[in-house]
Structure formats: structure tokens, C-alpha cells
Amino acid sequence: MIDPHKARREHLRWLIILTLNNARPIGAFEGPILSVAQSEYPDATAHELRRELDYLGDRKLVGVTRKPDGRWFGELTRYGVDVAEYTVDCEPGIARPEKYW
């Protein structure tokens, strides 16, 4: 049986990785990342996004900086780039599609 909450979390993590991969080498604040997430999940919240950014930060895929003004800034780590580019295996917890090419 598919758990829709788990599927959403894991897909949101993949969207964050893809967004930050496209924002390289600069990175991105949470606002543009949330806009991408809301294109797939219109009800996505900043809290939900921050929770998944924190998860990806704990896994050393994303560097997260909490700015003094309250905004969060993310950028992919070397390992995050490798996951986005399919050069390393992706451990469970991220809904990265299978490579078909």
C-alpha cells in the first residue's frame, strides 16, 4: 500500500535537489524553492519546505544557511550534485526516478 505522505515528502526532497541543481553555483533562498514545490503541490508550506531542507542538510546533500532575517538559503553540496546528476546511488528517502538513458 502506498503511503501518500511519504511519497509527497520524498518527491518534495527530489524537487528541492533539482531546483538547487538548476540554481548552481549560486544556490537559492527558500522563496523560489517553495514556488517550485507549489507548482507540484499547491498546498506546500514554508514549514514543510524547511523540514525537508533540514532533512537534506542532515544527509549532507544540501548546505543550509539560516540568515539573520529569518530566511533560509540552500545550495547543493558536492554529494548533492552527484545525486542530481545520477553519478552516485541514491539512498532511500528521496524519490529520484530511475535512470532510463
Residue 25 lies in a domain: yes
- Establish if 56 belongs to a structural domain: yes
Residue 17 is assigned to a structural domain of this protein: yes
Q: Tell me how many domains the chain contains.
A: 1
Q: Is residue 98 part of a domain?
A: no
List the domain range (segments joined by +) for residue 38.
4-84
Q: What is the pTM of this model?
A: 0.94
Q: What is the CATH number of the domain that holds 53?
A: 1.10.10.10
Residue 19, domain member (yes or no): yes
Residue 29 covered by a domain: yes
pLDDT of 37-71, one tens digit each?
Answer: 999 999 999 999 999 999 999 999 999 999 999 99
Q: What is the DSSP string of the chain?
A: ---HHHHHHHHHHHHHHHHHHHTTTT-EEHHHHHHHHHHH-TT--HHHHHHHHHHHHHTTSEEEEE-TTS-EEEEE-HHHHHHHTTSS---TTS-PPPP--
